[in-house]
Structure 1
Amino acid sequence: MEIRKIRSGETGNIWRLFHDTVHRINQIDYSTNELAVWAPDEYDEPRWVSRFIRTRPLVAMDGKFLLGFAELGDDGRIDLFYVHHAHQGEGVGRALMQRMKAEAASRGLPRLYCEASITARPFFERMGFVFLEQRELERRGEQVSVMLMEYKF
């Protein structure tokens, strides 16, 4: 497995992994309406390309196959962190998180934080994150529950 920065032309594959993983994995904890507003079926390519030019996510690759991806903000915020639904539990998330922690430490960040899904909370706890509070986010008129979590260096 190789972990590297996103390359040109990979945005569509990343969006597809995001969309499919949300709809297949998070259906355990979220309603159909919540999933639909969280990860809509319509791919807005200009929006995603613009986002990834700005955020430059890390991607985990097995040859040409995308296993997962993650974004690390300048302030330590992890916005998107997803592992392909068929490859969860194989160490992909752990490898991405180790790389993000190393990058954050090299930048001198005091912490990492995220608004994790209910489904992802156990993963983040295994990675050393602490649950701070539950929040309700509004997404296109629908309330979606997330867990504010933090990792301090």
Structure 2
Amino acid sequence: MEIRKIRSGETGSIWRLFHDTVHRINQADYSKSELAVWAPDEYDEPRWVSRFIRTRPLVAMDGKSLLGFAELSDDGRIDLFYVHHARQGEGIGRALMQRLKAEAASRGLSRLYCEASITARPFFEAMGFVALEQRQLERRGQPVPVILMEYRA
């Protein structure tokens, strides 16, 4: 497995991984309407390309197969962190998180935080994050419950 920065032409496969993983993994904790506003079926390529030019996410690859991806902002926020729905539990998320923590340390960040899904909470806790509070994010006019989580190095 290789973990590296996104490359040109990978945006569509990242969006597909995001969409499919949200709909398959998070359905145990979220309603169909919440999933639909969180990860809509329409792929807005200009929006995703623009976002990834700005955020330059890390991708976990096995040859040409995308295994997962993660974003880390300049203030320590992890905004997107996803592992392919069929590859969860294989250590991919752990490897991505270790890389994010190393990158944060190299930037002088001692705090990481995210608004994790209910489904992802156990993973983030296993990575040393602490749940601070439950929140409602608004997605396309509908509230979606998340948990504010924090990690301090």
Q: TM-score scaled to structure 2, two decimals?
A: 1.00
The number of equivalent residue pairs is 153
The AA in structure 1 aligned to 2:112 is L
Summarize the alignment of residues 1-150 of structure 1 with structure 2, pairs less than 5 Å apart: 1-150=1-150
Secondary structure of the corresponding residue to residue 144 of structure 1: strand
Runs of 5+ consecutive residues of structure 2 not aligned to the other structure? none
Secondary structure of the corresponding residue to residue 42 of structure 1: coil
The AA in structure 1 aligned to 2:66 is L
Alignment root-mean-square deviation, CA: 0.3
Deviation at 1:141, TM superposition (A): 1.4
Q: TM-score scaled to structure 1, two decimals?
A: 1.00
Deviations 1:106-133 (A, max 9, x none): 1100200000000000000000000000
Q: Distance in 2 between the 1:88 and 1:115 partners?
A: 20
Runs of 4+ in 1 over 3 A off after TM superposition: none
Deviations 1:64-108 (A, max 9, x none): 000000000000000000000000000000000000000000110
Identity %: 88
The AA in structure 1 aligned to 2:89 is G
Deviation at 1:8, TM superposition (A): 0.1
